[in-house]
Structure 1
Amino acid sequence: MAHTATGDGRQWHHPDGRVELDPAAGELPDNGFTSDDLRPVPVARRTWSTYNFLALWVGMAHNIPSWTLASGLVAIGMDWKQAVLTIALANLIVLVPMLLTGHAGTKYGIPFPVFARASFGLRGANLPALLRAAVACAWFGIQTWIGGEGIFLLAGKLLGESWRTAGELGGYPWTQWLSFLVFWVIEMLIIARGMEALRRFENWAAPFVIVGALALLGWITVKAGGFGPLLDQPSALGWGREFWRVFFPALMGMIGFWSTLALNIPDFTRFGGSQRAQIRGQALGLPTTMTLFALLSVLVTSGSQAVYGEPVWDPIQLAAKMENPAGILFALLTVLVATLSVNIAANVVSPAYDLTNLLPRFVNFRTGALITGVVGIAIFPWRLIADPHVYIYTWLGVVGGLLGTVAGVLIADYWLLRGTRLRLAELYRPGGAYWYAAGWNWRAVVALLVGGLLAVGGSYSTVDAHGVAQGPFPANGLVPLLKPLADYGWAVGLAAAASLYVLLNLGRRTGAGAGVEAGVEAGSEPGSGPEPGAEA
């Protein structure tokens, strides 16, 4: 069915609300802020359906760190009901900013770093982009180490004791380092084929991983002699004060797990066939999948306690206890596919775009992906996930707090001040509407810094029975005055940054819904009025 579009200057508004550059206006100029990877996706190429987004989330949520989230919560005292409740609530909360930021990707066909230019400026956007990229590189390293560990352990069951007891190098058998490298190479080969290859991979990986996880549940249920023993994990906290003292920092940590995607989800939604497709696909995919996977994790682990006398929280370690070679091979393939599907989508796509945004003339998507892979090795990921206290409270909590501030600025700018209206071509033009002062919007930077200070300034480490801090922070917090806020870091960062950004922009609106007039800063074009062609 033919459709019509209305044009204003260089952009066209389609009846379904999506916007693209006017094809008759020619390509965007090569000015240091444009590249093939950063240009808006034409509407004709925005083809991702509800299933594509659903499959993306199923593939990303079914991974080893997701599995161990529930186990980490149980390890700090929760029972299975409390752990599943915490994870379910966290994913319902983080879905909201995910949908709000994802809207811009589908409407304008732009990736996250270009979207950030509207609020931070053409140059200033590199600040949140590189913050997000740094987090993604660390996550990439963690997931790659886990994938390599899967190859090492499960291959050891097939190849014999000599594989597992090979000579050590840096504290690990050299065969484990080889497994790590093999998994890294597989990831690089897949991502080198681009986003369309990723979409196809996620489409078949999602159902495969679900089948593999259910097979593991069936196996441990049979070994345990039925379903009853799988629900016997008691709570060490109860439902009183002790539980609530753990609940809120754990909730922020669970939100922090996907706070990364709450920022760079436009990298995927820019390919969306409609807003309905991305909204339904994400709403159906994220909270349901994460909750069910957490429940599956607890059930399988409780079954392992009944079978082996102690809980085996790592599904790789559990699968390694299988004796059937066919079962081991299937488990190995499931682990590989599950880890590949999340690591490439969640932790390579974003930094690849972010690094391209930093140096578009020299770095393309594939080069950015390779840089991500190298940095992911250099951060020593095996040390980061060794302790659940460090993993949940320090890593996830601090990351969530910092990224929550970026989400606060983006959402406030796009939804509250601009009413979702952007000038698409101006996002690529120095000296234009989003140039602010020499490419930086100081209001966004101030909101980010203040929000970040409030969110993570009170970060502290828990102490053991001997008074020893279980993490890198002082027990009374980096800034003791801010310690009470640390348990709510993501929420504090998002709310504080959004509120401050709106306050700093008071008086800069030109009329109801006209949006921030970003052209009045020094160094920008004079006379920029209300954004042209704004929809009613």
Structure 2
Amino acid sequence: MGLGNTPGKGGGLGALEYTFIMFSMASCLPLFFLGPIAFNLGLSLQEALLAALVGNLVVAVAMALNGHAGIKHKIDFPEQAVRSLGELTGKAAVVMRGIVGAMWFGVEAYNGALALNLILLFALGLTGAALLEKATVLIPAALVLYLGSMYLVLKLGVKGIGKAATLAGPLLLLYFAWLWIWMKNSGFQPSAAPKGVGLLSSAFLIYLAIQTNWWATVAVNISDLSREAKSWGALWIGVMLGMVGGQLIGTYLSYELVLLTGKTLPQEIITEFAPGAIAVLLGLAFAFLAPWTTDLTANLPPMIDILKSIFGMSWKRASLLSAAAGFVLAPWWLLDNAPQIVSYVTSFAASYGVILGPILGALLAAHWIGGLNRPPNPSYKPVILPTTAGLLAGLIVSYAIAYPLGMVTSVLEVPFPQGPIWYVGVAVSVIAAALLLKLVPAKVKFKNET
């Protein structure tokens, strides 16, 4: 998410808006990846849904708790990070969150550009394997349109983004639900479903990590969006109904469509199985809106955070450069064909929890235990050393646990723990910071305290 970079407007966001914004992102992303990933890992449908429920429910609670800082003080993520962790560590946290968002930005830009090409080429008469092959080759050209339109919409501010975000998820979900029902009623026979891998298997734990990490990104910088909330209750309702509900529905539908079609790429499912030209074009239009909206609300803002807070750029200039960076971040230069994007995301999404978990734990400790939920004061710094130590403890312990269990893999030559290591990072970081904060109490008098 992370709308802190956009100019705020009056009124605030209520429970309904939060629910639709969260639901839009949650219901469109699983339709692209989470069902196919579970299928490829050998999980049964029941195992996939269990991982979706557990992973997203835990993250939803953490997200709502962390979002309280934005609601209480009307601050965005960069300010929260610096107040919680100090100038150096806080800005480092902003950069790390921004890097993860940048990678997701590239993934979604790739999918959105692919959908744009498919729309154009299908309208020109291409079908079948030639359609997907040609659309993949032309992705760089479509990226220019995708990224340019995104920059223009950013100028509308948070309310403009919110209105765009409320459309994509429900429309895409309704389309795929209709397509699934039509295929079932038309006699499509599902292929043999995986029998399952077991709840303690490495495959299930990796998938649990992917479901968890999906929204662990937004949990870190949720204050960017929560600062626009009318109430804390509105945020709770939004994450529980929109996020958790959307993940479950999306995971179920995308898994079922893989069984019915044998295809793992939703754009390919649309072009090959939708009944008629109008149905194909509608589906591809929704397949464009889904990643486009997700990039606007989730992936671009953390990149803008980096350019604003670290390099001092204006919001407009940071927005322009962030959008332009998507051309390189989209992995069109790395993948031989479009379906390979599923494997690309599997490796990436299972690995970055080790970074985001300790950051989130330190933010929670600073806000709820260290006193940052009290009246703000620029001179209030005693939480910085304990929270920074807690963050480092979470990072070190995560690696110490992952190595003996063989849960470490290399991503671009850098070792990253896989599996549900996010949980370890959050817990250790919170506990370590809390103990240090209690052992070294901060005696600070705020301006409005006597």
Which interval holds the TM-score relative to the shorter structure?
A: 0.7 to 0.9
The equivalent residue for 2:236 is 279
Alpha-carbon offset, residue 141 of structure 1: 0.8
Q: Check if 1:355 corresponds to 2:318.
A: no
Q: How does 1:6-155 map to 2 (within 5 A)?
A: 45-64=10-29, 66-155=31-120
Among 305, 312, 317, which residue is 1:367 paired with? 317
The equivalent residue for 1:21 is none
Whole-Å Cα distance in 2 between the matches of residues 69 and 153 of structure 1?
22
Matched residue type, 1:235: P
Cα distance 1:172–1:299, how it changes in 2: closer, same or farther (>3 A)?
Answer: closer
Any conservation in 1 of the 2:150–2:292 contact (CA below 8 Å)?
A: yes
Among 329, 341, 354, which residue is 2:293 paired with? 341
Whole-Å Cα distance in 2 between the matches of residues 187 and 286 of structure 1?
23
Cα distance 1:221–1:172, how it changes in 2: closer, same or farther (>3 A)?
Answer: closer
Identity of aligned residues (%): 20
Any conservation in 2 of the 1:301–1:312 contact (CA below 8 Å)?
A: yes
Whole-Å Cα distance in 2 between the matches of residues 72 and 162 of structure 1?
26
Cα distance 1:334–1:461, how it changes in 2: closer, same or farther (>3 A)?
Answer: farther
Alpha-carbon offset, residue 274 of structure 1: 1.0
Matched residue type, 1:396: A
Matched residue type, 2:120: A
Whole-Å Cα distance in 2 between the matches of residues 402 and 245 of structure 1?
20
Matched residue type, 1:79: S
Any conservation in 1 of the 2:362–2:388 contact (CA below 8 Å)?
A: no
Alpha-carbon offset, residue 506 of structure 1: 3.6
Q: Check if 1:207 corresponds to 2:157.
A: no
Cα distance 1:488–1:333, how it changes in 2: closer, same or farther (>3 A)?
Answer: closer
Any conservation in 2 of the 1:77–1:236 contact (CA below 8 Å)?
A: yes
Whole-Å Cα distance in 2 between the matches of residues 39 and 162 of structure 1?
40
TM-score calculated relative to the size of structure 2: 0.87
Matched residue type, 1:142: V
Matched residue type, 2:267: I
Matched residue type, 1:204: L
The equivalent residue for 2:184 is 221
Any conservation in 2 of the 1:398–1:456 contact (CA below 8 Å)?
A: no
Any conservation in 2 of the 1:263–1:406 contact (CA below 8 Å)?
A: yes
Structure 2 segments unaligned to the other structure (5+ residues): none
1:399-450 Cα offsets, whole Å, 9 max, x none, are 1121011000000111123272241x52xxxxx223x6xxx93443333233
Q: Which moved more, 1:201-210 or 1:492-501?
A: 201-210
The equivalent residue for 2:430 is 498
Among 326, 341, 346, which residue is 1:376 paired with? 326
Any conservation in 2 of the 1:154–1:320 contact (CA below 8 Å)?
A: no
Whole-Å Cα distance in 2 between the matches of residues 217 and 507 of structure 1?
57
Paired positions, count: 440
Among 389, 406, 410, which residue is 2:363 paired with? 410
Whole-Å Cα distance in 1 between the matches of residues 307 and 427 of structure 2?
28
Matched residue type, 1:386: Q
The equivalent residue for 2:255 is 298
The equivalent residue for 1:447 is 390
Whole-Å Cα distance in 2 between the matches of residues 285 and 265 of structure 1?
15
TM-score calculated relative to the size of structure 1: 0.74
Whole-Å Cα distance in 1 between the matches of residues 29 and 97 of structure 2?
21
Task: Kindly report the root-mean-square deviation, in angstroms, between the aligned alpha carbons of the 2 structures.
Answer: 3.4
The equivalent residue for 1:235 is 194
Any conservation in 2 of the 1:412–1:498 contact (CA below 8 Å)?
A: yes
The equivalent residue for 1:314 is 265
Alpha-carbon offset, residue 500 of structure 1: 2.2
Per the alignment, in what secondary structure is the counterpart of residue 531 of structure 1?
coil
Alpha-carbon offset, residue 473 of structure 1: 8.4
Q: Check if 1:398 corresponds to 2:351.
A: yes
Any conservation in 2 of the 1:138–1:379 contact (CA below 8 Å)?
A: yes
Whole-Å Cα distance in 1 between the matches of residues 304 and 177 of structure 2?
33
1:458-510 Cα offsets, whole Å, 9 max, x none, are 469999xxxxx996489xx959xxx7xx533101111122222223334332x
Looking at both structures, which has the greater relative contact order when contacts are Cα pairs under 8 Å and sequence separation is at least 6?
A: 2
Any conservation in 2 of the 1:87–1:290 contact (CA below 8 Å)?
A: yes
Whole-Å Cα distance in 2 between the matches of residues 454 and 381 of structure 1?
32
Alpha-carbon offset, residue 196 of structure 1: 1.9
Alpha-carbon offset, residue 314 of structure 1: 1.3
Q: Check if 1:266 corresponds to 2:198.
A: no
Whole-Å Cα distance in 2 between the matches of residues 177 and 399 of structure 1?
27
Q: How does 1:417-428 map to 2 (within 5 A)?
A: 417-418=370-371, 420-423=373-376, 426=378
Cα distance 1:200–1:379, how it changes in 2: closer, same or farther (>3 A)?
Answer: closer
Cα distance 1:249–1:146, how it changes in 2: closer, same or farther (>3 A)?
Answer: same
Matched residue type, 2:310: L
Cα distance 1:223–1:183, how it changes in 2: closer, same or farther (>3 A)?
Answer: farther
Any conservation in 2 of the 1:460–1:473 contact (CA below 8 Å)?
A: no
Per the alignment, in what secondary structure is the counterpart of residue 62 of structure 1?
helix
Any conservation in 1 of the 2:12–2:228 contact (CA below 8 Å)?
A: yes
Matched residue type, 1:371: L
Whole-Å Cα distance in 1 between the matches of residues 6 and 35 of structure 2?
40
Any conservation in 1 of the 2:84–2:384 contact (CA below 8 Å)?
A: yes
- When Rg is computed on C-alpha atoms for both structures, the one with the higher figure is 1
Matched residue type, 2:440: R
Any conservation in 1 of the 2:77–2:221 contact (CA below 8 Å)?
A: yes
Whole-Å Cα distance in 2 between the matches of residues 214 and 343 of structure 1?
23
Cα distance 1:505–1:492, how it changes in 2: closer, same or farther (>3 A)?
Answer: same
Alpha-carbon offset, residue 80 of structure 1: 1.4
Whole-Å Cα distance in 1 between the matches of residues 406 and 436 of structure 2?
36
Matched residue type, 2:426: L
Indicate the structure with greater helix content.
2
Cα distance 1:335–1:318, how it changes in 2: closer, same or farther (>3 A)?
Answer: same
Whole-Å Cα distance in 2 between the matches of residues 443 and 79 of structure 1?
43
Any conservation in 2 of the 1:110–1:267 contact (CA below 8 Å)?
A: yes
